[in-house]
Amino acid sequence: ESAMSINRAIERNTIELLRCVLILFIVLIHTNLVADLHCENSLYGRIYAYLSEILWLSNSLFFAISGYLFFANTDFTFESYRSKIGRRVNSLIIPYFLWNTLVWFLYVAGSYFVPSLSNNEIKPIGETGLADVFNIYFSTYGEGLSSTPIDGPLWFLRNLIVLVFCTPIYYFVLRSHKYSVVLLPLACLIPLPTAVYTSVIFFGLGCYLGIWKIDILRFCDKLYEGLLVFVTIIIVERVVEIPSSLEFLSAFAKHCAGFLVMMALASKYVRKRQYKADNPLNKSLFFIFALHGIIARLLTKVTAVWIVDSQNGWLGLAHLANATISVMICIVVYKITYSISPSICKRLGSRN
């Protein structure tokens, strides 16, 4: 094998490993008990606050990876753009609507047994008007650009779909000059909702790396430098009150450093362990991503009823148990669905 093909295989497996880790981070975010138990000041709450600095890297890194993969290993032309958009109709748009429809039905059914699941936001199917249906698919929770569809985690997919259609703009802006990357930190000075800032800027970072054909394994081979910057910014944010106008810029620098650290660790593991993306976790990633939200919500509400004392030492264990159960249920659902019909799995976003 040529050195280039070996390097591409390592890069591919590094990204697949990173996807697995980031999905687990997202599940850990959605199974935390801090909000349900209002235990921010407990030991568990304080530990989670620091842990979340790492967990919240997940969304920005996913957008960066998506932007990179759109442009990596190919020249950007009208034909390549049309081809990629066509593929993403099957891999993004169709799964987006199918999963939101499925979760809508699950919420309606589940609210008969656990009324608090609906939070009065989700109406029975027979009572929905056109505006309600629109909100189900695009804006069930929250308002405006910070809203999420009924399948909460799929806000990422909704934003990604929009960004993918905007890739020609990214290409012409970022291809204009090698130093056009400075536009990304400058964009952090524009007041935007966090979700929009994360989507637009980190997708742009990935696009820049892909457009300029930067070897991300070599570029990210800066574990200790990235770790130093990441930890330093966390300490500074805890000690000094960052002006609100600079919060996004601080977060951008912190997450860029986190990107270096995560990529470096993943690539080292891939090289040392000869990791290949053929395990059950990797195969069921999309199912975990799309289905864990409603499972996590049910588990956290049940746990909040079960654990009354917010100082209880079982909080951390319950959090990990809920995350593990959520992932295991999603893997089982994937395996059952795949055994019934691999084509249905593919329609639902699975790549295996």
The confidence band for 301, taking pLDDT boundaries of 50, 70 and 90, is confident
Question: Which pLDDT belongs to residue 3?
Answer: 72
Task: For the chain, give the percent of residues with pLDDT over 90.
Answer: 71
Instruction: Give the residues across from 141 on adjacent strands.
Output: 148
3 state SS of 18: helix
Give the max Cα distance, the chain: 61
Is the pTM above the cut of 0.85? yes
Q: Token match 């909460």: residue?
A: 152
Q: Which of 185, 158, 177, 186 is nearest to 93 (CA)?
A: 158
Q: Mean of the per-residue pLDDT values for the chain?
A: 91
Mean pLDDT, range 33-52, rounded to an integer: 89
Asked whether 295 and 326 are in contact (CB, 8 A), the reply is yes
pLDDT: which is higher, 115 or 328: 328
Question: Which pLDDT belongs to residue 191?
Answer: 87
Ranges of H-type helices in the chain:
3-30, 34-37, 43-55, 57-71, 78-88, 94-111, 130-138, 155-165, 167-174, 183-187, 194-211, 216-219, 223-239, 247-273, 280-283, 285-306, 315-340, 342-347
Question: Which pLDDT belongs to residue 152?
Answer: 93
**b (16+ CB within 10 A) / e for 296-330:** bbbbbeebbeebeebebeebeebbeebbebbbebb
**b (16+ CB within 10 A) / e for 19-56:** bbbbbbbbbbbbbbbbebbebeebebbeebeebebebb
How deeply is 103 buried, as exposed, middle or buried, from its count of CB atoms within 10 A (0-12, 13-18, 19+)? buried
Cα separation, 257 vs 205, whole angstroms: 13
Mean pLDDT, range 26-40, rounded to an integer: 91
The confidence band for 276, taking pLDDT boundaries of 50, 70 and 90, is confident
Question: Which pLDDT belongs to residue 32?
Answer: 94
Mean pLDDT is highest, among 35-39, 115-119, 270-274, 319-323, for 319-323
Mean pLDDT, range 86-96, rounded to an integer: 95
Asked whether 288 and 328 are in contact (CB, 8 A), the reply is no
**Rounded (10°) CA dihedral 224, 225, 231, 232:** 140
Looking at residue 28, its amino acid is L
**Rounded (10°) CA dihedral 156, 159, 164, 165:** 160
Q: Which of 300, 299, 280 is nearest to 288 (CA)?
A: 280
Question: Which pLDDT belongs to residue 116?
Answer: 61
Mean pLDDT, range 191-196, rounded to an integer: 88
Q: Say yes or no to pLDDT of 309 above 70.
A: no
Mean pLDDT, range 319-335, rounded to an integer: 96
Q: Say yes or no to pLDDT of 108 above 90.
A: no
3 state SS of 79: helix
Question: Which pLDDT belongs to residue 308?
Answer: 66
Q: Residue 130 is encoded by which pair of tokens?
A: 């056109």
Q: 183: how many CB neighbours lie within 10 A of its CB?
A: 15
